[in-house]
Amino acid sequence: MYEHRDTRCIHGDLERPAFEATRAVSFPIYQTATFGHIGFGKSSGFDYTRETNPTRGKLEETMSSLEGAVDTCAFSSGMAAVSACFELLSPGQHIVCSEDLYGGVIRLFDKVSIKNGLSVDYVDTGSRDAIEAAITQDTAALYIETPSNPMMNVADLRACHEIAEEHGLLLIVDNTFLSPYLQNPIELGADLVIHSGSKFIAGHNDTISGFVSSGTPELAERIRLIHKTTGAALSPFDSWHVLRGIKTLGIRMERQESNAQELARWLSTQPGVAQVFYVGLEDHPGYAVNASQARGAGAMISFRTDTVEIAHRVLERVKLITFAESLGGTESLITYPMVQTHPDVPEAVREHLGITDTLLRLSVGLENVDDLKSDLSQALSS
C-alpha cells in the first residue's frame, strides 16, 4: 500500500492482517506460551507460541513489507537464522560462499555444516569468474555478504542472480550491513535474505534476534517448517523490543550513514591511518556496484592503522566510542576483528583477506559527528 520505507518501518503493510483487534498504537506483547481453542476443531489462528505469536507475527509482517518478501521468520539470533537456511540443504551438497564474511558463519560451516555432510568453498564473490570456477555438479547454494564483514567487499547481486539461475542454485544474501532500508536483495533476484536483527533493525544494542525473509511461497513454507520444528523462534518480549526499534530504522540509517560518510572522509586524512574501507567513498572498488543496487552505503567503516601499536592505542583510548563487539546500534562501537569477530578463521586466511592486527572496524552511531572525530583524534594521537 505504501511505497515509502520509512512509513513501512512504523506501520508495516496495512494490507496484511495485523492480528490486533484493539488497534493499540504500541502493538501489545502477547506473553503467553499457549492459546485456548475456540472449540473442537476451531482455532483463533494461534495455538502455541513456538509456532505463531501475534507480537512476533506483527514483526515478521513488518520485515516482509520492508524486504518485499512473501514471508519472514523471526529467530532468536542471526546465527539461528543462518542455521535454518542450511537446514534446506542435504548431505553431499556444496555451497559457494563469500570468502570475507562474519566469523561466526565460518565457524558454523567449518564446525557444524561439514560434520553434517555439506562442503563449502570460499571465493571472492565480487568476481563472477571466481564464483563460476567454484561451482560443481553438487553445488546447491550461493551465499553472499554485501558489503562484507569486515573488509566491506561488494558483490554484484544481479550477476549473482544470473549465475544462480543458470546453475539452479539457491541465492542467499546476508543484508545485515545495509538493512532493508537501504538494500532489498529479493528485488535483485535473491531467494532468501538473512539479517542479524540485533544490529540496525533493533538498533539499540539491547536485543538479540535474526530474520530469514523468503522470496517464494515454496521457500517460505520450508523455512517456516524449520522455524517451528527446530524451535529457535524469537520470544514475544524480544519481538516487541525489535518492533519498537524498527520504527526508527529509517531515520537512524539516514543519520548514521551521514555520520559515516563524513567520518570516512575525515579518517582518510588522518596521520596514523593507512587505509579506509567504506563503500560510500568514490575510490572504493565496489562503489559503483553498490550505488547501482543499494540506496546508500550504510554506517560501517573499517580502517587500517600504520602500526599495530596505533591500533591498540585507539582501542585503549577511545572514550565516547565503545570498544565492543556487535554493530548497528545508536552508540558507536569499535571492534578488533582479528580478536573479536574472526578469531576462529585460520591465520593464513585472515592474512589473505586483510584481517590483520592493524585492522579496526567502526560501527558509526548517532552521536554528533564532531564529537566522534574528537574522540578518534585523541585516540590516534601519539
The set of catalytic residues is 50, 102, 174, 199
Q: Please, are residues 256 and 364 in contact by the beta-carbon 8 Å criterion?
A: yes
**Separation between Cα atoms, residue 52 and residue 71, nearest integer Å:** 13
| Closest alpha carbon to 78 in 3, 154, 179 | 179
Residues 6+ apart with CB under 8 A from 63: 69, 72, 74, 180, 195, 201, 211, 213, 246
Cα dihedral across residues 99, 100, 101, 103: positive or negative = positive
Q: Please, are residues 86 and 97 in contact by the beta-carbon 8 Å criterion?
A: no
| Closest alpha carbon to 97 in 347, 353, 366, 278 | 353
**Separation between Cα atoms, residue 53 and residue 39, nearest integer Å:** 19
Peptide bond into 54 cis (omega under 30): no
How many residues are given for the chain?
Answer: 382
Question: What are the phi and psi torsion angles at 322 (to 5°)?
Answer: -95, 130
* C-alpha cell, 106: 565460518
Longest dimension (CA), the chain: 75
Q: Please, are residues 127 and 153 in contact by the beta-carbon 8 Å criterion?
A: no
Kindly list the distances between the CA atom of residue 178 and the CA atoms of 22, 185, 218, 244, 294, in Å, as whole numbers in the listed order.
34, 11, 26, 19, 8
Helix, strand, or coil (residue 320):
coil
* C-alpha cell, 199: 544490529
**Separation between Cα atoms, residue 208 and residue 105, nearest integer Å:** 16
